[in-house]
Amino acid sequence: MPRPSSDVHACETHATDAELDDLRARLAVARLPEAETVHPAASGSRRWEQGVPLADLVGLVEYWRTDYDWRSFEARLNRIGQFRTTVDGLGIHFLHRRSPRADATPLIVTHGWPGSIAEFVDVVDELADPKDAEAPAFHVVAPSLPGFGHSDKPATTGWGTERIAAAWVELMGRLGYGTFLAHGGDWGGNITAVLGGRFPEHVLGIHTTFAEAPPGVTTDGLTAVEREWAEETRHFWRHRAAYAKQQATRPQTIGYSLVDSPVGLLAWLLDKFAEWSDTEDSPFETISRDRILDDVTLYWLTRTGASAARIYYESHNSLDPDLRVDVPSAVTMYPRDVDKCPRPWAQERYRRMVRWGSPEAGGHFPSLEVPEYFVKDLREGLAAVLADRR
């Protein structure tokens, strides 16, 4: 394996006490709207028809202000291993957990929005150093997308998914990983498709929880379940995707609220954790309050509400319709995700599909909602990818 580049530097992140005090002070004086006008007897998902319910937000804001411990999450990132390097003129922050196993395979995992590297902190150790000696092991690299977390904010346009994928190839090369596996969901899934389609000489294969069909597919021949998936996805993009339209067209405008108001940022992100997870009444049925607040606080302290939103401006609906992925691919569609692609459609783009997964539980954030299953599924998918190359 080639030696890592000297252009990569270890780093640790520490928010100042003044920054944390300022956050708590802002939370203490937050101005809140009146309660939603959904019928008081409404329960389950109906409570969220107008967005985050006031009672839920009030309770979470109080917890964030008085009990939440950012320092614990900060220490965990530092224990995993944080690094920075500059690629194509932009500083990129990433987690890097090398496996102690001699047979480990390099793996880059890419998050999406409204996520961050917080999506992977609960699974990195088990992927790198599995308790089961027979399970595959990986050298795990988890970068923060440009404009997210501790990566730099692009000062010009042009940092779309194609450029990010090219940057990931450069990043992995600097770590000594000339060939590697890739996983992603949401924007990370889009970037993973580009990695597999554009850089087959570097990418051994991919695993994704987001598959975007090429244009021109029809519902002919789909099963009843697949037709239902297609209709649910169509309904989502027509009726529940205002957030994407806003961020794709006016990220700067919404950005002022996201960077200035911690409560506004919390509500904007929490709404998606609630709507997109496999729960009936609250995202906290499957995702801990602390992990969601880790994610939101990371956005807050790095002031990345606007810069993260710009990935929609750069790349919304921009995946090359002719892109085809010919490296071995494993695809998993979680049942409560909001964008589910039927297998026949996915096979039109991922032409060497070696494994298809359709579990019984899980939504858009499987590494947070069902972490044990996520690790198992990712291992099995990547094992199938590697076996196909032998």
Q: Do residues 312 and 248 touch, judged by C-beta distance below 8 A? A: yes
Q: Do residues 210 and 185 touch, judged by C-beta distance below 8 A? A: yes
- One DSSP character per residue, 155-215 reads SSS---HHHHHHHHHHHHHHTT-SSEEEEESTHHHHHHHHHHHH-TTTEEEEEES---PPT
Query: Would you say residue 2 lies in a domain?
Result: no
Q: How far apart are CA 390 and CA 382, in angstroms?
A: 13
Query: Would you say residue 308 lies in a domain?
Result: yes
Q: How far apart are CA 137 and CA 160, in angstroms?
A: 31
- Flag whether the pTM goes above 0.85: yes
Low-confidence ranges of the chain (pLDDT < 50): 1-2
User: Beta-carbon neighbour count of residue 317 at 10 Å?
Assistant: 9
- DSSP state at residue 34: P
Query: Would you say residue 218 lies in a domain?
Result: yes
| pLDDT reported for residue 390 | 78
| pLDDT reported for residue 3 | 55
At 93, which CATH number? 3.40.50.1820
Parent domain of 78? 9-389
Residue type (1 letter), 24:
R
| pLDDT reported for residue 275 | 96
Query: Would you say residue 165 lies in a domain?
Result: yes
Looking at the structure of the chain, the number of domains it has is 1
What phi and psi values does residue 353 have, to the nearest 5 degrees?
Answer: -75, 120
Query: Would you say residue 47 lies in a domain?
Result: yes
Query: Would you say residue 180 lies in a domain?
Result: yes
Query: Would you say residue 13 lies in a domain?
Result: yes
| pLDDT reported for residue 389 | 87
Whole-angstrom CA distances from 269 to 225, 296, 308, 311, 326 are: 30, 7, 12, 15, 35
Query: Would you say residue 3 lies in a domain?
Result: no
- List pLDDT tens digits, range 71-89: 999 999 999 999 999 999 9
| pLDDT reported for residue 46 | 84
Whole-angstrom CA distances from 342 to 54, 242, 320 are: 37, 24, 19
- List pLDDT tens digits, range 364-389: 999 999 999 999 999 999 999 999 98
Nearest CA to 265 out of 322, 215, 219, 307 is that of: 307
| pLDDT reported for residue 5 | 60
Return contacts of 41-45, CB within 8 angstroms, 24+ apart. 43/281, 44/280, 44/281, 45/280, 45/281
